[in-house]
Structure 1
Amino acid sequence: MADPGESECTRVDVGITRVFGLLGKRWTGPIISVLMAQPVHFADLRRAIPGISERMLSDRLTELVAADLVVREVDEGPPLRVSYRLTAAGAAMEPALKELSLWAETHMNELPRGGC
């Protein structure tokens, strides 16, 4: 017989763990949100996200490409330019991201903000 103080451990959903393992990384959300509107060249994407370094942007884009959420396309030059766009799987996140944005507008104002 189980001790009344013990309860069966509830485990976190595997899907939630996987989603936040990728999307919970710094800068990933802003990158995806910029790409929601249209394909964007690397330099324009960097300008659209203040504070992100080229290296970090490159690393996050590489992860998103590997996760099949973003496609990297080389535009033959001159000049040679690289653009990124969401895959169908990446674009399918739009309703969920819009809901998270609405939630943040409603509830995050009440939470203390870090930084500046």
Structure 2
Amino acid sequence: MTQRNFTSGLDAAVAVMGGKWKGLILFALQDGPLRFGELRRTVGGISERMLILQLKELQTAGLLHREVYQQIPPKVEYSLTDFGRSLNDALAPLGEWGEDNMERIESIPFE
């Protein structure tokens, strides 16, 4: 495995949570554990395949915990680790900025 060298703390943070979906998944889990179907409904627009991939990456990064309950039907819950909660805390001001500026951001002609 190759060790990464980051140029800044922001660079390191973006590497661990980069992409559109990871932040939304972390945000969805801020109030407690959710099952896969609940997560998929909460994070609108994500495909099942992409959600599976993102959950695996977040778990590998140590941001999520996956709890499997031995019952029928099988039950799996996802929750934030302390590391994941700390990242969510760091993202909260960014989310507030987005809320405060959403109208302006929506008017930007992204290509």
**Which residue of structure 1 aligns with residue 51 of structure 2?**
57
**TM-score normalised according to structure 2 size:** 0.83
Say what the alpha-carbon RMSD is for the aligned residues. 2.0
**Which residue of structure 2 aligns with residue 25 of structure 1?**
19
Identify if the C-alpha distance between structure 1 residues 76 and 25 changes in structure 2 by more than 3 Å, giving closer, same or farther. same
* Residue from 29, 34, 37 that aligns with 1:40: 34
Deviations, residues 17-70 of structure 1 (Å, cap 9, x unaligned): 121123221211110001111000011111111111111001000000010000
Q: How many residues align?
A: 104
**Which residue of structure 1 aligns with residue 100 of structure 2?**
106
TM-aligned CA deviation for residue 12 of structure 1: 4.1
TM-aligned CA deviation for residue 97 of structure 1: 1.9
| Letter paired with 1:74 | V
User: What is the identity percentage for the equivalent residue pairs of Structure 1 and Structure 2?
Assistant: 37
Kept in 1: contact 2:26–2:88 (CA 8 A):
no
1:83 aligns with 2:56: no
Q: How many angstroms apart in 2 are the aligned matches of 1:46 and 1:114?
A: 29
Unaligned runs of 5+ in 1: 1-10
Q: How many angstroms apart in 2 are the aligned matches of 1:114 and 1:77?
A: 50
* Structure whose alpha-carbon radius of gyration is higher: 1
The higher-RCO structure (CA 8 Å, 6+ apart) is: 2
Q: How many angstroms apart in 2 are the aligned matches of 1:79 and 1:114?
A: 47
**TM-score normalised according to structure 1 size:** 0.80
| Range that drifts further, 104-113 or 55-64 | 104-113
Kept in 1: contact 2:66–2:77 (CA 8 A):
yes
Unaligned runs of 5+ in 2: 1-5
SS in 1 for 2:30: helix
